[in-house]
Chains A and B, each alone.
Chain A
Amino acid sequence: MRDIVRLLKLAWPHRAWLLAALGLSLATLLANVGLLALSGWFIAAMALAGISGVPMNYYYPAAGIRALAICRTLGRYAERVVGHQASLRILAGLRVWIYRRIEPLAPARLEGYASGDLLSRIRADIDSLDTFYLRLLAPVLTALCAGLLFIMFLWCFSPAVALATAGLLLVAGGFLPLVVHLLGRKPGARVTWTSSELRTAVVDGLRGMEELLAYDAAERQKERVKELNRRLLADQARLAGLSGISAGGVGLCSGLALWLALVISIPLVRTGSLSGPQMVMLGLFCQAAFEAALPLPSAFRLLGQALAAARRIFFLVDEPPAVREPHEPAPPPENAALSLRGVGFSYGDGAATLERIDLELSPGRKVAVVGGSGAGKSTLLALLLRFREYDSGSIILGGREIREYDGEDVRRLMAVAGQQPFLFNATLRENLLIARFGAGEDEMVAAARMAGVHDEIAALAHGYDTEAGEGGVKLSGGQVRRLAIARAILKDSPVLLLDEPTEGMDAAAARSLLERVFQYAEGRALLVITHSRIGLEAMDEVALMDEGRIVERGSHAQLLARSRRYRDMWALDDGMTER
């Protein structure tokens, strides 16, 4: 219930559109029921007039029939247009709302969802929420309003018919969907679960095919896929049967309503308290009234989905951010001198990811951090960018503890090229200009040149206007990385943080890139995280990390001379060729 209230609140700014859609669908429904009932009354009255020879005014009813037909036709059109307007407006509102709410959560709080493909889930959930308003809320409210009006109308002619119809409407619109919904809950949940199991089994079978073949286990995996497939279809068949019951049931109720109306009115016609044409009208009216109940079974089905989607989205947006911004942030730091003293961090599973890290990174200093994967190097960057909160020790920036500043002020000083740089589905230009909105063309080109990617961009058919990302040009890993470096350079900040800048490049290219980067970083603080030994000789300090600790530090030459572990870690083919 609380979730429903929250959902209604979200749509509140668009209430006028929702109400208009509701009103139109009500009007369209009434027009159709009115059309059939009036037609029935009309032909019956005309038939009686024809037999008895009593003249009747046929002008108004005939005009009424035509008017209702036109109303119905136009109403359907208007209903769809307004409904889509409402839906699109709500959708836009939902997207912005969700974006605003999860923006402070990135990336720390969203990482946990990475494997569970958070994104496609959000997308499906937003779509489910969208159906909540238009295919659930509106039909239910329309059916309620229409049902009341129908009963009131029938009551004027015969309370018994009104009660009978009310009962059948309740069965068709309430009881039947509810029963079908309850019976369908288990198979429905199983369908969701089995299809995700099936997907996992298929993906496992494809990604792990080498192992399956090598271990003679392919047959078993195939049996598993077959079995899940069979179970999925069996449950879907149950659901299809249920939806058949509800469709047949609504039809049956509407037929019975007509029948009961006849059964009740026949004696009334005999006693003269109801005219023949009125009986015809009531019968057709009762039958047609069930159009209101038609969308209800699917509305019930959607209710579960929509509420589950809402709960997932609310759960996500209600998470506290990983880093709490200070209430009264200190004024922006005056200089970019960074100093880490005894910094420790743990992801909360007991094991420390970073332990007692000391690092000095002031402008003019070049520091490299090297080590195996999982050594905690990238976590270090997240701490500096205020994406995560360190548990112990202190990080001093410009003379103050970094957590005293506003996160945006801290990030203003830092330019980053991450390990897995993200390119947006936009032009290369837009991707670069994210770093500095409104930077000039010449500045952008200069940055791209420095990162050694300008020539390759210029050689593309659309140059900087080439679309990147899905559906755009396929860039190599090395190109993406250099674009990210260009982006970081364009930002023009006093601290430059590069995560694996040369991965995927051959030795010569890596060397010349780093030379240019070193030149650019003259007078700035530079932190390079790397697997490659290229360029390490130019660093002021190299720190070797293992299991979250700095185990060795010194210049490249010192470490080569001193540490066997340091000598052993370099890949044989490092820098020999493009990977």
Chain B
Amino acid sequence: MLAAGLGIAGGFVLIAQALIVARVVHRVMIDGAGYREVLPQLLQLPPLMLLRAGLSWVSERVAFAASAVIRREVRNDLFQRLLDAGPLCLKGDRAGEVATVIVDGVEALEGYYSRYLPHLAVMAMVPLSILAAVLPADWISAGIMLFTAPFIPFFTILIGRGAERLNQRQWQSLARLGGYFLDRVNGLATLRMFNASRREALMIAGISDDYRRATMSVLYVAFLSALVLEFFATVSVALMAVIIGFRLLKGGMAFQDGFTVLLLAPEFYLPLRLMGNYYHARMEAIGAAERIFSLLDTPVAPRPAAPCPLPAISPLRICFEDVSFRYTPDSAPAINGVTLSLASGERVALVGPSGAGKSTLAALLLGFALPEQGRVLVNGVDLAACDPDQWRRLVAWVPQRPHIFHGTMRDNIRLGRHDASDLDILRAAGQARCEEFIARLPHGLDTVIGEQGAGLSGGQARRIALARVFLKDCPLIITDEPTAGLDARSEAMVREALNELAGGRAVLSIAHRLATLEDADRVVVMNEGRIVEQGGYDELKAAGGLFARMVAAGEGP
């Protein structure tokens, strides 16, 4: 609002300036006045010009500040909202897309708040005040202005809207052309495999040419709107000049008035013409706002209003009591009536085909979601009634593909204990068999690890995740096949580290391979959300059920 006020004030200064200039010129030319007579007025001009420049600078800053507050709040709220919604709402690879909305989508609001909105007020007020200044001087010119002014917004909207659509379709197809190009670059390896890459260069040239022709045929028409706007603004000024000239010749008006009008006429049309430029900012912001609002509507994971304190946790005893869960109300249950217990000192392995509900069980135990039915009890207390943050302080989690954060190796390891000393960090790293490769890094613990763990092998990333667990030192450990796809040496190291870690704690590990089961006290076999078998490895193998079939398939014919 302040920005709009400053813009309008700038308009007033402009009018004052024009009046003074016209007066000075009139006195010199018509009245034959010299320096001495016009000096006071001449000296008024530079301060006015300076004031106008100052106003434009301040209004730019103020407009930006308004949009900055909005963007800061929206961005922080979005991030907070997604944290509240929890990890399950980001399943699939939505993270990249969502991040784009948080970073770029919010950025797109800038033009709307800092340009479009303030300009709307300027557009309404500045031409009106110019009109008010011109009217007493020359009613014919005022009439021309009044008559032509509505055409400009009218045509901006009428032709602009059609053209906007055409334009947008055209820019979309240009974007598609860009997409085509990137697609081929993306698939260059494939194109080369089939010796098709050189042919494709001709295709790109040909398609670019087709697009250019199609685009231009639309732009010829789309630019007509600009032509009409330009026509009204420019021809009106020319018309006013000619009419004023003839009235002056006939002695029908004072030169000073005529000159004022001529000075102000282009300024009258300027805000109206600029509107077209800012219209685009509005379109962009509207598109972004839709995506932002849909993210802000992400349902928040439920939390107890008054969490009850956790019971003493040593030793730990966890019970799943007839637990069921589904991701969306209309999907099949991911977990269906699961009853399971786990205690300190016990290592339980979860096996089953993928989609059996193993990861969901882990997510429930981590408090990322609450059971739809049944309870998860921790030493007799319902987990749903506890503060999830407090509970998670007792749980360590090693996912199959641990996330490595952009930052130093030190910060990555001390994720759960930010105040840990280097001594503790190095001890944990040693226990997780990381020290050897950390020692090889150029800056040791200070080495910055790339985005999403670039530069680390899968085995190294998993050992860093284990180091986090060693450092955190808590009574319950959940792992998701920590040795899959590792080379023989890394696998041995990770297994050793895990065995060391397990002592005395409760361990739930999701297993995909027979080799992993050897260290487990108990094997729980899941299928389609239910527990179908559980018991010792040999016992289950002899039972002839799903587990026995899996083992047989694994050992091959």
Contact = CB atoms under 8 A, between A and B. Distances in A.
User: Which among B90, B211, B237 has the greatest number of chain A C-beta atoms within 10 A?
Assistant: B237
Given A43-B259, A88-B216, A579-B354, A110 B188 contact: yes
A341 interface: no
Nearest to B95: A206
Contact of A240 (B114, B450, B551): B114
Nearest to B24: A262
Contacts of A259: 42, 45-46, 49
Given A39-B262, A572-B513, A244 B248 contact: no
Contacts of B223: 77, 80-81
B235 A73 contact: yes
A269 B29 contact: yes
Contacts of A186: none
B486 to A, nearest CB: 6
A200 B451 contact: yes
B165 to A, nearest CB: 18
A25 to B, nearest CB: 14
B180 A88 contact: no
A546 B103 contact: no
Interface in A118-147: 119-120, 122-123, 126
Size band of the interface chain B makes with A: 35 or more
Interface string A265-280: 0110110000011011
B208 A546 contact: no
A100 to B, nearest CB: 5
B193 A40 contact: no
A568 B512 CA distance: 11
Nearest to A213: B392
Contact of B192 (A35, A95, A387, A421): A387
A529 to B, nearest CB: 14
A217 interface: yes
B406 A204 contact: yes
A522 to B, nearest CB: 22
Contacts of B332: none
A340 interface: no
A204 B405 contact: yes
B288 interface: no
A58 B242 CA distance: 9
Contacts of B488: 372, 546-547, 565
A207 interface: yes
Given A207-B403, A387-B192, A119 B230 contact: no
Nearest to B250: A50
User: Which among B209, B230, B238, B259 has the greatest number of chain A C-beta atoms within 10 A?
Assistant: B238
Given A215-B468, A280-B25, A572 B114 contact: no
A182 interface: no
Interface stretch (A2-10, A250-258, A306-314, A458-466): A250-258
Contact of A214 (B60, B61, B366): B366
A43 B512 contact: no
Interface string B456-468: 0111000001001
B146 interface: no
A46 B249 contact: yes
Interface in A176-225: 195, 198-218, 220, 222, 225
A209 B415 contact: no
A245 interface: yes
Interface stretch (B78-86, B156-164, B320-328, B499-507): B78-86
Contacts of A32: 234
B147 interface: no
Interface in B320-364: 351-355
B209 to A, nearest CB: 6
B183 A425 contact: yes
A532 B320 CA distance: 34
B532 interface: no
A96 B56 contact: no
A279 B188 CA distance: 66
A60 to B, nearest CB: 12
A65 B458 CA distance: 75
Interface in A78-125: 80-81, 84-85, 88-89, 91-92, 95-96, 99-100, 102-103, 106-107, 110, 115-116, 119-120, 122-123
A43 B182 contact: no
Contact of A258 (B21, B415, B556): B21
Nearest to A469: B183
User: Which among A248, A537, A556 has the greatest number of chain B C-beta atoms within 10 A?
Assistant: A248
B227 A270 contact: no
Size band of the interface chain A makes with B: 35 or more
A359 interface: no
B268 interface: no
Nearest to B457: A374
Given A58-B246, A110-B188, A229-B76, A434 B196 contact: yes
B255 A47 contact: yes
Given A123-B182, A416-B193, A66 B242 contact: yes
A248 B56 contact: yes
Given A40-B259, A546-B488, A574-B554, A210 B114 contact: no
B406 to A, nearest CB: 5
B79 A205 contact: yes
B554 to A, nearest CB: 5
Interface stretch (A149-157, A230-238, A440-448): A230-238
Contact of A213 (B65, B220, B368): B368
Interface stretch (B30-38, B119-127, B277-285, B426-434): B30-38
A576 interface: yes
Nearest to A254: B49
A206 B98 contact: yes
Interface stretch (B128-136, B307-315, B372-380, B393-401): B393-401
A424 interface: yes
A160 interface: no
Interface in A402-432: 408, 411-412, 414, 416, 418, 421-422, 424-425
Contact of A99 (B181, B215, B245, B250): B181
B386 interface: no
A424 B389 CA distance: 45
A241 interface: yes
Interface string A538-579: 000000001100000000100010000101111111111111
Contacts of A116: 451
Contacts of B184: 99, 424
Interface in B494-544: 511-515, 517
Given A69-B237, A205-B83, A576 B195 contact: no
23 contacts: A47-B29, A47-B30, A51-B30, A58-B245, A68-B238, A73-B234, A88-B216, A92-B212, A106-B192, A119-B182, A123-B178, A209-B86, A214-B392, A222-B80, A225-B75, A244-B57, A247-B56, A262-B28, A267-B34, A411-B192, A437-B196, A570-B554, A577-B354
Given A42-B242, A216-B389, A241-B61, 10 more contacts: A46-B249, A81-B220, A106-B197, A120-B182, A203-B452, A210-B366, A210-B397, A222-B76, A244-B57, A259-B49
